[in-house]
Amino acid sequence: MAAREQREAQCLSRICYLAVFYLLLTGLFIQNCCALLTYSRQEILDIWTHNSNSFIADLRLIPEISRTPEAAHSPRPGGSARRRRRERKQRRGRRGGLRAKLKLTPHRLPLPSIFLANVRSLANKMDEIRLSITNNRRIMDSNVMFFTETWLNNSCPDNAIELAGRHTHQADRLADNSGKTRGGGLCIYINNAWCMNSTTTESHCSPNAEFLMVKCRPYYLPRELTSIILTAVYIPPDANARLAMKELSAAINKHSVLSHLDNNNTYARMLFIDFSSAFNTIHPSQLIRKLTDLGISSLICKWLLDFLTKRPQHVRLDNRCSSTITMNTGVPQGCVMSPFLYSLFTHDCRPADGSNTIIKFADDTTVIGLISDNDEAAYREEVDRLAEWCDTNNLLLNTEKTKELIVDYRRNADPHPPIHIKGTAVEHVSSFKFLGVHISEDLTWTTNCSKLVKKAHQRLFFLRTLRKNHLSSDILVNFYRCTIESILTNCITVWYGNCSASDRKALQRVVKTAQRIAGAPLPAIKDIYRKRCLKRAGKIIKDPSHPSHGLFTLLPSGRRYRSLRTKTTRYRNSFFPTAVRLLNSAS
């Protein structure tokens, strides 16, 4: 037994010696091989210079490197018919993922090739760019070309910067937004051989950043992607980089208050501003100056100036009249043109920070600040900037009627300090009526529904009176639709989706009561909500300039829309996610 163990130990030692000797020889061989494959920098440059056109073509001859579909699916000799059928089946799971598809199709780029340059006056360098496209293969084959500091303005015609075979998207610097009249500007050229379907989704200009966003649907994209959004950004050297990145981040992650509240440590502040006699404080000369900057013809501006100045007014009571006063300020209330002129007068009132939004409807103005990590600096600066803009444009802020609503779902939220306008604190309210809709700080719609039901019950009295006078059912139905249904369905796409079950039953009881009085069938509130959502979504889809047009994106099948990602039931039942679900169910 001992002799056998001794022989095995001797044999094992011989094997170890042979293994060590083999490793030494292998190391020397590899070292010599590596020395033979060593190139200097100049030799590598010479190889690229002499073989730049055929280098890639030679690599394609090697199946392991090129991974072409022909090499990957080369027929194998022999094998059963069952195995061949199994190999022809569509690959799924990891074998059919994005990386596998890209390896099998190397001629289809997963991302576009981009050429970027800071031109400093694009119009003066168009001849050089056209020559570079003709002679330089890389620039010729680039899918997208970005140019910053184009220095373009309205005096430069569009055909002066056009490139053959490429679609142009440009964004010029605006003096009203950036405070500078020269410099800046962005331009994006899309190669028609790569994409013919491209639209400008957003253009932004501020003292801190300028960016242009273009949405593209090229001829080929991986199945997992539906479109590509290209963004050209220019940050001036003297800009605040922190604010510039904040504006860019807010534009890329553009969302509503509900989607913002889905994130952690966030809340929203809404400031409902009230002006004192907004229409009566407009200076006609200042309005005409803004209309001229917007490109309105001088003939129309002179006609409007003559219409708004030297207007005689007096008050009449029965047969008595007051003395006549000549008015040279404001726009006449009750005139069809007055709200439109006021909207043009306030067109330059825009938010400076991307986390803030200013909503304007005639003289109703609301500032919405999306706050993250308790950083309210941008929101408070926006309010101060708005107060300064009002002083410059002769608009009087009524601080006593201005209210603020704070939507905060955090459990351990600290008390919110009030906002101040010219040293006066703004009152914080738990509910506010905005454009006929009661908005609560918890975003529940019980208050709004109770107000609507109460108002509708008052109108039911008139419907009963008409029934007692033996009017026909058609007249009663028309009266219901004009005076009662119009109240119950006011802005229904905004609030009905998040109504509680008790609120929906209360609304439907009003409809059932009116149906018994009229003696004719009436549409249910739920059906009206569904129809209004589809109608509103259809208008948004047809209007590429709508701010929410990008939320409705088709899937690669072209029949259904991509669902929006939601974290809470509150956001899931809001208008946009509900509209997408209704569109998909109707398709």
Per the DSSP assignment, residues forming a β-bridge with 229 are 215
Residue 97 confidence class, pLDDT cut points 50, 70, 90: low
Asked if residue 549 has pLDDT above 70, the reply is: yes
Amino acid (one-letter) located at 283: H
Q: Is there a domain that residue 192 lies in?
A: yes
Indicate the angle between helix axes 501-518 and 473-480, nearest 10 degrees. 150
State how beta strands 325-327 and 403-407 pair: unpaired
Which letter does DSSP use for residue 561 in this model?
B
Residue 394's region, left for phi above 0, alpha for psi from -120 to 50, else beta, is left
Distance of CA 156 to the CA centre of its chain: 29
Q: State the average pLDDT over residues 11-28.
A: 49
State how beta strands 198-205 and 325-327 pair: unpaired
Q: Is there a domain that residue 304 lies in?
A: yes
Exposure class string for 146-170: b at 16+ Cβ within 10 A, else e: bbbbbbbeeebeeeebeeeebbebb
Q: Is there a domain that residue 373 lies in?
A: yes
Asked if residue 373 has pLDDT above 90, the reply is: no
Q: Is there a domain that residue 66 lies in?
A: no
Query: Which of 252-266, 432-446, 556-570 has the least mean pLDDT?
Result: 252-266
Per the DSSP assignment, residues forming a β-bridge with 349 are none
**Model pLDDT, residue 146:** 93
State how beta strands 427-428 and 403-407 pair: parallel
Distance CA 147, CA 265 (A): 38
Asked if residue 256 has pLDDT above 80, the reply is: no
Cα torsion at 284, 289, 292, 293 (round to 10°)? -140
Percent of the chain with pLDDT over 70: 77
**Model pLDDT, residue 54:** 41
Asked if residue 48 has pLDDT above 90, the reply is: no
Assess whether 395 and 303 both reside in one domain: no
Assess whether 423 and 453 both reside in one domain: no
Q: Is 551 exposed, middle or buried (0-12, 13-18, 19+ CB in 10 A)?
A: buried
Assess whether 305 and 415 both reside in one domain: no
**Residue 428 belongs to a domain with what CATH number?**
3.30.70
Q: Which of 522, 544, 562 is the last residue of a domain?
A: 522
Asked if residue 369 has pLDDT above 90, the reply is: no
Residue 205 neighbours by CB under 8 Å, 6+ apart: 171, 173, 174, 177, 178, 184
Indicate the angle between helix axes 575-586 and 525-542, nearest 10 degrees. 90
Mean pLDDT over each residue of the chain, to the nearest integer? 78
Assess whether 132 and 187 both reside in one domain: yes
Q: State the average pLDDT over residues 537-546.
A: 86
Assess whether 291 and 422 both reside in one domain: no
Q: Which of 440, 467, 492 is the last residue of a domain?
A: 440
Q: Is there a domain that residue 420 lies in?
A: yes
Q: How many domains does the chain have?
A: 5
pTM of the full structure: 0.56
Assess whether 130 and 156 both reside in one domain: yes
Residue 41 neighbours by CB under 8 Å, 6+ apart: none
**Model pLDDT, residue 255:** 43
Q: Which of 482, 500, 522 is the last residue of a domain?
A: 522
Asked if residue 478 has pLDDT above 60, the reply is: yes
Distance CA 378, CA 351 (A): 10
Q: Is there a domain that residue 74 lies in?
A: no
Locus of tokens 């001229």: 292
Locus of tokens 């008409």: 466
Q: Is 536 exposed, middle or buried (0-12, 13-18, 19+ CB in 10 A)?
A: middle
**Model pLDDT, residue 95:** 53
Distance CA 253, CA 333 (A): 40
Distance CA 491, CA 270 (A): 19
**Model pLDDT, residue 76:** 43
**Model pLDDT, residue 168:** 92
**Model pLDDT, residue 41:** 55
C-alpha angle with apex 86: 85 to 88, nearest 5 degrees? Answer: 65
Assess whether 135 and 186 both reside in one domain: yes
Q: How many helices (H) and strands (E) does the chain have?
A: 24, 20
Assess whether 364 and 408 both reside in one domain: yes
Q: Which two tokens stand for residue 106?
A: 């190397």
Exposure class string for 238-266: b at 16+ Cβ within 10 A, else e: ebeeebbebbbebbeebebbbbbbbeeeb
C-alpha angle with apex 178: 172 to 179, nearest 5 degrees? Answer: 120
Asked if residue 189 has pLDDT above 90, the reply is: yes
User: Computed from CA positions of residues 170, 254, 196, 104, in that sequence, does the dihedral angle turn out positive or negative?
Assistant: positive
**Model pLDDT, residue 4:** 54
Locus of tokens 């889905």: 262
Assess whether 538 and 511 both reside in one domain: no
How many CA atoms, within 13 angstroms, populate the side-chain half-sphere of residue 413?
A: 18
Q: State the average pLDDT over residues 87-112.
A: 57
List pLDDT tens digits, range 193-211: 888 888 887 788 888 888 8
CB 258 within 8 A of CB 134: no
**pLDDT top residue among 74 and 312:** 312
Percent of the chain with pLDDT over 90: 11
Per the DSSP assignment, residues forming a β-bridge with 369 are 269, 356
List pLDDT tens digits, range 412-461: 777 888 888 888 888 888 888 888 888 888 888 888 899 999 999 988 99
Distance of CA 468 to the CA centre of its chain: 54
The stretches of 89-202 forming alpha helices (DSSP H) are 98-104, 126-135, 137-141, 175-178
Q: State the average pLDDT over residues 216-238.
A: 80
- Structural domain boundaries, residue 271: 266-279+348-440
Q: State the average pLDDT over residues 83-107.
A: 55
Residue 524's region, left for phi above 0, alpha for psi from -120 to 50, else beta, is beta
Assess whether 394 and 499 both reside in one domain: no
Phi, psi for 348 (deg, rounded to 5): -85, 5
Q: Is there a domain that residue 461 lies in?
A: yes
List pLDDT tens digits, range 260-310: 666 677 888 888 888 888 888 888 888 888 888 888 888 888 888 888 888
**Model pLDDT, residue 55:** 38
**Residue 218 belongs to a domain with what CATH number?**
3.60.10.10
Assess whether 247 and 361 both reside in one domain: no
Q: Is there a domain that residue 6 lies in?
A: no
Assess whether 295 and 230 both reside in one domain: no
CB 452 within 8 A of CB 484: no
Please state, in angstroms and as integers, the Cα–Cα distance from residue 502 to each residue in 450, 457, 496, 515, 516, following that order: 11, 17, 12, 20, 21
Please state, in angstroms and as integers, the Cα–Cα distance from residue 385 to each residue in 236, 349, 394, following that order: 22, 10, 14
Residue 35 confidence class, pLDDT cut points 50, 70, 90: very low
Distance CA 56, CA 410 (A): 58
Residue 32 confidence class, pLDDT cut points 50, 70, 90: very low
Q: State the average pLDDT over residues 490-502.
A: 87
Query: Which of 22-26, 403-407, 537-541 has the least mean pLDDT?
Result: 22-26
Q: Which two tokens stand for residue 324?
A: 């006549």
Q: Which two tokens stand for residue 561?
A: 């829309």
**Model pLDDT, residue 347:** 83
